[in-house]
Structure 1
Amino acid sequence: MGLSNLGLFHTVVGVVAIIAAAVDFTKVGKVDLSQLTGKIYFYGTLITSLTALGLSKAGGFNVGHVFSLLIVILIVIAYVLHIKRPGNNKYRYYENFLLSLSFFLSLIPTVNETFTRVPVSKPLAAGPTDPIIAQTLLVLFILFVLGSVLQFRKQKKINNAIRQD
C-alpha cells in the first residue's frame, strides 16, 4: 500500500478514532467527551490530524493539511467548551456540532485515501476526482446534516427538560 511508518501509525490511530466515534454515535447519538470512546476519538483525532501534517503524496503543504489544522481547531474548541462550560447546556449545541463536523471532515481524506488504495490490486477509485468518491462523500454529507438536526433536537429536549425541573 506504500505507507511509511508515520503513514501506518497515522492510519491505525485514525481508524481507532473513527471506530470510537462510530460507537458513540450508535450508543448516544453524539461524540461524548465524558466517555472513554469520546476521549479516544478526541485524542486519536488530535494525533491523526497532527501526524497528517508530516504526510504528503504530492509533496509540500496541501489541502489535506488545511483539513488537518481545521479539525484540530474544531476538536480543541469542542474540548474547551466541554471542560469550561459543563453546566451551560447551550454550549452543548456547539460542542456536539463541532465534534460531528470534525468527524465528517475526517471522513473526506479517509474516503479518498481508502478508495484510491483498496483493494491493493485494483483500487475502487482511480483518483480523488473519481465519481465514486464524490458520491460517497455526498451520502456522508447528507448523513452529517441529518445527524446534526437530530442532535440539535435531542439537545433541545434535554435543555427543555432541565428548564422544567
Structure 2
Amino acid sequence: MLNMTAFGMFHTAISVVAVVAGINALFSHGEIGTRSRAGLTYVLFTVATCITGLFIFHHGGFGPPHALAIITLVVLAVAYAAEKRTSSAGLSRYMAVLGYSLTLFFHLIPGLTETGTRVPVSHPAFTGPEDPMLKALVGAGFLVYLGGAMVQVVRIRRSHRSPAVA
C-alpha cells in the first residue's frame, strides 16, 4: 500500500503524536517546554521518533534523514539543558523556547518528504527529496518557524519587562 513496514508505521505514529503534542503546547502555552504535559509528551515522543528513525534505511544506508535525527537530538538536549538552567530570564530562556520550536520545524522535513513521495499511492505529490515543490514547501515552513520565533521572542521580552513606576 504505502510501502511501509510495521516498524515504519510505528515510527510514523509516534511522530504524529509528537507533532500534535507540540502544536498543542504552542497554542495552549505559547511555547513547547517540559513543564507542560503537552510539551513533555512532545519532547519524549520526538526523542522516540529520532531514535526509531535511526533504524530505518528505506533509502539505503545512513543519509540526510539520519543526520537530521541526530541534529534534532542535539537541539533537544541543548533546549532541555537551557530550560532546566533558566530562571525565566536570560539567554537560556530563548535557547530553550526557540530550540524546542526548531525541532518542531525539523519534523516537517521528513514528514513532507515521506508523505509526499508516497501519497497519493498511484501518483505521489513529489518525485523525491530534491523536488522543487517540496523544497518550496519546506522553505515556506521555515518562514513560518521564523515568524513564530519572532512572536516567541517578543513574548519573552515582554514578560521580562518590569512595570513602569509611576
Instruction: Settle same-fold status: TM greater than 0.5.
Output: yes
Corresponding position: 1:26 with 2:46: no
Following TM superposition, the consecutive aligned residue runs of length 4 or more in structure 1 with deviations greater than 6 angstroms are none
Give the match for residue 61 of structure 2: 60
Aligned to 1:35: 36
Q: 1:13 to 1:162 in 2, by over 3 A?
A: farther
Looking at structure 2, the residues matched to 80 and 4 of structure 1 have their Cα atoms a distance apart, in angstroms, of 35
How many residues are paired up? 163
Q: Which residue of 2 aligns with 1:89?
A: 89
Change (3 A) 1:110 1:86: same
Relative to the length of structure 1, the TM-score reads 0.92
Measured after TM superposition, the shift of residue 138 of structure 1 is 1.4
Superposed counterparts of 1:1-165, under 5 Å: 1-83=2-84, 85-90=85-90, 91-161=92-162
Tell me which moved more, 124-133 or 44-53.
124-133
Q: How much does 1:124 deviate?
A: 1.1
C-alpha separation between the residues in 2 aligned to 1:77 and 1:138? Answer: 24
Quote how far apart the aligned CAs of 1:88 are.
4.5
Deviation at 1:161, TM superposition (A): 3.5
C-alpha RMSD over aligned residues: 1.7
The one-letter code sitting in structure 2 at the alignment partner of 1:100 is S
| CA distance in structure 2 between the aligned counterparts of 1:115 and 1:80, rounded to whole angstroms | 34
How far residue 71 of structure 1 moved from its aligned partner, in angstroms, is 0.2
Distance in 2 separating the partners of 1:60 and 1:143 = 31
Is the 8 Å Cα contact of residues 116 and 125 (structure 2) preserved in structure 1? Answer: yes
Deviation of the 1:43 alpha carbon? 0.4
Which ranges in structure 1 are unaligned for 5 or more consecutive residues? none
Question: What CA distance in whole angstroms lies between the structure 1 residues aligned with 2:13 and 2:88?
Answer: 35
AA in 2 matched with 1:102: T
TM-score with structure 2 setting the length: 0.91
- The 1-side partners of 2:55 and 2:36 are apart by 30
Distance 2:94 2:163 in 1: 15
Q: Percent identity?
A: 28
Deviation at 1:80, TM superposition (A): 1.9
